[in-house]
A = this chain, B = another copy of it.
Amino acid sequence: MKLIAFDADDTLWVNEPNYVDVKQKLCELLSHYIDQETLEDRFYDAQIRNLQHFGYGAKSFILSMIETAIELTDGAITSKEIQLIIDAGRQLLDFPIEVLDGVTEVLEMLSTQFDLMLLTKGDLFDQESKIARSGLVHHFKHVEILSEKNEEAYLRVLKKHAVEPADFLMIGNSLKSDILPVVHIGGRAIHIPSAVSWAHERVEDEQLTGKSFTTLGSARELLNLFETVNS
């Protein structure tokens, strides 16, 4: 193994629950206009529609909330309520980073033996800010922030760092972004599912047929896994 990469959001630290909280605030704000289920469905549609224009991240999320609120209230929402949506969304840019259980110990152990990379997708400004707030950056030899994590993007990163897919291990919580594309290009992958995940990151069971990767219950279990491998 020449390079081990970690996803960031919901692999190293808690992220998605913050988005769920803000979405809940949107639901409460619009509760006199619309029921929660319809709102969640239409908000998801807006997010997917806006991905191609705005990409991932907090600013894109805020713009999708605003558009959904205007659309679902047929323009009845007031601009002061829209300001409340922006204010709720702004907390996504500076929430305190809660590092997940076992992550610090795992990074301390692995960084003495391997080149570690933090490999995340999303909004550059937003991700850099979370990385800085996490206090974990010194464990990583490389940091790569991508706009999308698909097979092409992984191949580009590996080429840039002169690493063959067979010498690459990716660790992350998203089957869609962290596991399947890496397995498809011949790399190794460890899946650590998170308690809460965004619908867009889910994959169908049949996409997993014949795919080989390891699933762990938490980052802490990486300690045992690597100790076993090394002994």
Which residues of chain A have a CB within 8 Å of any CB of chain B? 53-57, 59-60, 62-63, 66-67, 69-70, 73, 75-83, 86, 90, 93-94, 123-126, 128, 145-147
A124 to chain B: closest residue by CB = B124
Q: How many copies does the complex hold?
A: 2
Please pick, from B56, B66, B145, the residue contacting A82 in the complex, using a CB distance under 8 A: B66
Do B54 and A83 have beta carbons less than 8 Å apart? no
Chain B positions within 8 Å of A146 at CB level: 124
Contact B55 A83 (CB under 8 A): no
B residues in contact with A60, CB < 8 Å:
59
Contact between A86 and B67 (Cβ–Cβ < 8 Å)?
yes
- Chain B residues closer than 8 Å to A78, beta-carbon distance: 75, 79
The answer to whether A53 touches B147, judged by C-beta atoms less than 8 angstroms apart, is: no
- Specify which chain B residues have a CB less than 8 angstroms from the CB of A145 in the assembled complex: 124
18 contacts between A and B (CB under 8 A): A53-B93, A54-B93, A55-B125, A56-B125, A59-B59, A59-B60, A59-B63, A62-B63, A66-B66, A67-B86, A70-B80, A73-B79, A78-B79, A79-B81, A82-B82, A123-B125, A124-B124, A124-B146
